[in-house]
Structure 1
Amino acid sequence: MKTKLVTPEGYKKLKDEHDHLWFEKRPEITKIVSWAASLGDRSENADYTYNKRLLRQIDRRVRYLRKLLPELKVVHYAPEQEGKVFFGAWVEIENEAGDTKRFRIVGPEEIYGDQKDCISIDSPMARALLKKEVDDVCTVTTPAGTRDWYINHIEYRQAFKQA
C-alpha cells in the first residue's frame, strides 16, 4: 500500500491539476464533443470519437484526484528534522565507487511527470535513509543486490520551510 504523505508543493500541484482539468480542460472538450455530436453520424466522426475518449480520460483522472486529495496528509517542515533524513529532505549520498546521487524524499504521488530528482518514501532507498545523519552509512537492499551508501549532505530548503 502506498504511503498517503505529500509535501505542500506536491499537494498544490495535484490540486492545481484537478482544478485545471475540471474548470478549464473538461468544459473545452465538452464543447467540442457537443459540436461534433451535432454533425450527425457519430460512428465515423473522428472529432467526436477522439474527444469523447479524451473526456473519459479527464473524468477518470478527476475522480481519482477527488478520492485521493482528502486522503493525503500534507507534511510540513519542522525544525526538529534538521540534521536527520525525514520526509521532504534533500539528500546527497555516495557509494564506495564514488558515485553520487542527489534527490528529495517525497510521497509516491509526487514522483511522476517532471520530477526526475525525487524518490518515493516507499522506496527501499528512502526507507534505508530515514532517521540517518550526515556521515552515516546506510545499507540498501534492492533486487539488484545490497549496497552501502554514505550520507554526504541533508538539506531542507528554505523555500519549503513553513514560516
Structure 2
Amino acid sequence: MVDKVPMTPSGFKKLQEELRMRQQEERPRIIEAISEARAHGDLSENAEYHAAKEAQSHNEGRITELEDLLARAEVIDLTKMSGDTVKFGATVKIVDEDTEEEKTYQIVGDQEADVKDGRISISSPISRALIGKSVGDSIEVNAPGGSKAYEILAINWG
C-alpha cells in the first residue's frame, strides 16, 4: 500500500516547479561542470570534479524524492473544503491562553510547511491537537519548551 501525501494545489505546483528546475536547469549545468573538470586531467586530485559529482548525487537524489512525492500526492482542493471542525487545509486562528498572543496557521502537507509563513505540517503536534476541534475549544500541545494551552478563535477555508 502506497501512502498518499496530502498537499494543497500550491504546494503541488511548487514541487513540480522544483522538479522541472532540477531536471532541466540544474542537471545540464552539473553535467557541464563534470565534463569541464574531467578536461583538467587527473581525477583523483581534482577537487572541482569531486564537488561536481557530489552536487550531481545530491541533485539526482532530490529529483528521485520529488518524483516519489508527486506520484503519491493527494492534492486537496481547498475551495471545496468547509465545516465547523479543523481539518487539513483549514486556516486556524488561536490564542495562547497564558500570553494572550494570537497566531494564525494553515494546516498543510509536510513538504509545504513553513512556520514563518504561517503554514504548519499536518503531522506537527499542534496540528494533531487541532484536528477535529471547533471554535471555542481549548487544546493542549506538548511542545519542546513544555505544555502550552490554546483556544481556537476562528476556522477559515480557502
Q: What TM-score does the superposition give when structure 1 sets the normalisation length? A: 0.83
Kindly state the Cα deviation for residue 33 of structure 1 after the two structures are TM-superposed. 0.7
Aligned residues with identical type, % of pairs:
35
For residues 111 and 80 of structure 1, the distance between their equivalents in structure 2, rounded to whole angstroms, comes to 19
Q: Which amino acid aligns with 2:19?
A: H
On the 8 A contact 1:3/1:108 being kept in 2, the answer is no
Q: Distance in 2 between matches of 1:80 and 1:25?
A: 37
C-alpha displacement at 1:109, in angstroms?
1.4
| Alignment partner, residue 153 of structure 1 | 154
1:37 and 1:124, CA in 2 relative to 1: closer, same or farther beyond 3 A?
same
* TM-superposition CA deviations, 1:92-139 (whole Å, max 9, x none): 111222122221111111126x86422111122111211322222223
- In structure 2, what is the equivalent of residue 99 of structure 1? 101
CA shift, 1:89, in A, is 1.5
Aligned residue in 2 for 1:19: 20
Question: Tell me, which stretches of 5 or more residues in structure 1 are unaligned?
Answer: 158-163
Is 1:7–2:8 an aligned residue pair?
Answer: yes
Tell me, yes or no, if the aligned pair for 1:36 and 1:48 is still in contact at 8 Å.
yes
Q: What CA distance in whole angstroms lies between the structure 2 residues aligned with 1:104 and 1:47? A: 43
Tell me the TM-score normalized by structure 2. Answer: 0.86
Is contact 2:4–2:72 with CA below 8 Å preserved after alignment?
no
Alignment coverage as a number of residue pairs? 155
Q: Bigger shift: 61-70 or 137-146?
A: 137-146
Mean CA deviation greater in 9-18 or 139-148 = 139-148
Q: CA separation of 1:16/1:126 partners in 2, compared to 1, >3 Å: closer, same or farther?
A: same
List, as ranges, runs of 4+ consecutive aligned residues in structure 1 with deviation greater than 6 Å. none
Tell me how far apart the structure 1 counterparts of residues 42 and 57 of structure 2 sit (CA, whole Å): 20
Q: Deviations over 1:37-90 (max 9, x none)?
A: 022111222221211110110011111111221112111125452443221122
